[in-house]
Chains A and B, each alone.
Chain A
């Protein structure tokens, strides 16, 4: 090998790589500790009869609780136990995914529970219905719809290969931003304020990043603001689009602040999701204290192929940073693809 060979990648090797920020560093470590405990809770069902699994599971529950307490994170103390999980995916704050958690598995703060189309799970005294998406926050289950949209292109709703509508996971109704009656103990966040109910000044416009409007889909952008009642055209909003990580599926998500209305516009687009009954979950995290913790999960429904769907959400007062990630799930709640994380950080401005 020649010296020239050695230097070919020199510019790349000399890139001034930023440090991992302390919050992310801590978050990853916390996630690893949870994974460590969870790994020990997870029985190898293929080899162990159930009776041999109970004791280790109980031990792990204790371990999880201990780890959480030792971590000293006041916001992570909350823990809820699950049982009878079927067709359920739990997304931990670390991003780790646990399928059908064993009885006694403990949900920590920030965990998101996604129940599949034919699934069920009981968390403490609450049994979730198929299609439910809840988040653990401050020790309680939260199912709050911050923004809702279901926008389908007539030309794509009946694509060959699509599952029939009845096979699809439930789609959030546009006007349903209120608690559901069937989960009496579930705490709901306040419903999104009406457009006319905004006495506060608009949030500051976040700094513009280089905008490549061609990055947006050339087709019409659909304004899925459910309060408006009818779709309207809005300008291109793609700002820092992010690519997906998933097998055979592209997910793009972009964010922009509408300072006039004090809202965040989340544009997302899914291509190549040819799995039956796929749907989309938008995960939102608020504030820098736990920047990647999916503090709120928003069921958005299913978007048509190739169009950019726009969802409006409030930018709450005092919020420092908001992060979004779009997750595509199949009809069993399995994650098909996920976008990168998009961040609006007021601290940048």
Chain B
């Protein structure tokens, strides 16, 4: 379950969101409640501290700019924030995937390698993480969003579906197809390497 801070009561949060439309302190409270979860989500996806920080900042800036368009849904504002963050991440990787050359690709890979692991038992996980990120980058943006929202955000399935803007059953189909695509992409990348 996503970390929603000390006071996850949805009624309070709904009031908070309403106040945040006109009250900077209320929006700051929303920010403080959700910033850690959004930052973790961004970091797990990209593996780069600076980029994760940029994505986190951009997520809340966009949320603030679009708060008037937010309509309250069960599950609160968190799915909406994750949706913005996921869009930021997929946009970033789509741009990078289109244009980065070998030089910057290697640089990015090295940044990804900066993820630290506690012990040697997790070296396999480290390799897997690099491969997963590389494979995710190659998926279409919709699949990227589906997988990251479902598996990296901490959102429950229904909340992740809400973040995707689809029904839970369609979300299940999307995640299943995206997983298959991810698996095939990983296999291909492993063969190529």
Complex interface bits, A1-23 against B, C-beta within 8 A gives 1, otherwise 0? 10001101111111111111000
Closest 8 CB pairs of A and B: A241-B107, A17-B40, A9-B151, A11-B128, A17-B43, A11-B125, A36-B24, A5-B179
- The total of chain B residues at the interface (CB under 8 A) is 59
Complex interface bits, B121-150 against A, C-beta within 8 A gives 1, otherwise 0? 000011011001100000000000001000
CA–CA, A37 and B28, complex, Å:
13
Stretch of A107-115, A211-219, A223-231, A312-320 on the interface side: A211-219
Interface pair A32/B31, CB less than 8 Å apart = yes
Stretch of A76-84, A151-159, A242-250, A281-289 on the interface side: A242-250
Interface pair B152/A13, CB less than 8 Å apart = yes
Residue of A nearest to B117 (CB): A16
Residue of A nearest to B26 (CB): A36
List, in ascending order, chain B residues with CB within 8 A of A274's CB: none
Interface pair A67/B24, CB less than 8 Å apart = yes
Q: Does B9 sit at the interface, judged by CB under 8 A?
A: no
Residues of B bordering A, CB below 8 Å: 24, 27-28, 31-32, 35-36, 39-40, 43-45, 47-54, 56-57, 60-61, 64-65, 92, 95-96, 99-101, 103-104, 106-108, 110-111, 113, 115-118, 125-126, 128-129, 132-133, 147, 151-152, 172, 175-176, 179, 182-183
CB distance from A38 to the nearest CB of B (A): 10
Residues 238-268 (chain A) with a chain B CB within 8 angstroms: 238, 240-243, 245-248, 250, 252
CA–CA, A240 and B179, complex, Å:
32
- The total of chain A residues at the interface (CB under 8 A) is 53
- Which of A39, A94, A241 counts the most chain B CB atoms within 10 A? A241
Interface pair B43/A252, CB less than 8 Å apart = no
Residue of A13, A15, A96, A243 near B104 (CB, 8 A) is: A243
Q: Does A95 sit at the interface, judged by CB under 8 A?
A: yes
Interface pair B61/A32, CB less than 8 Å apart = yes
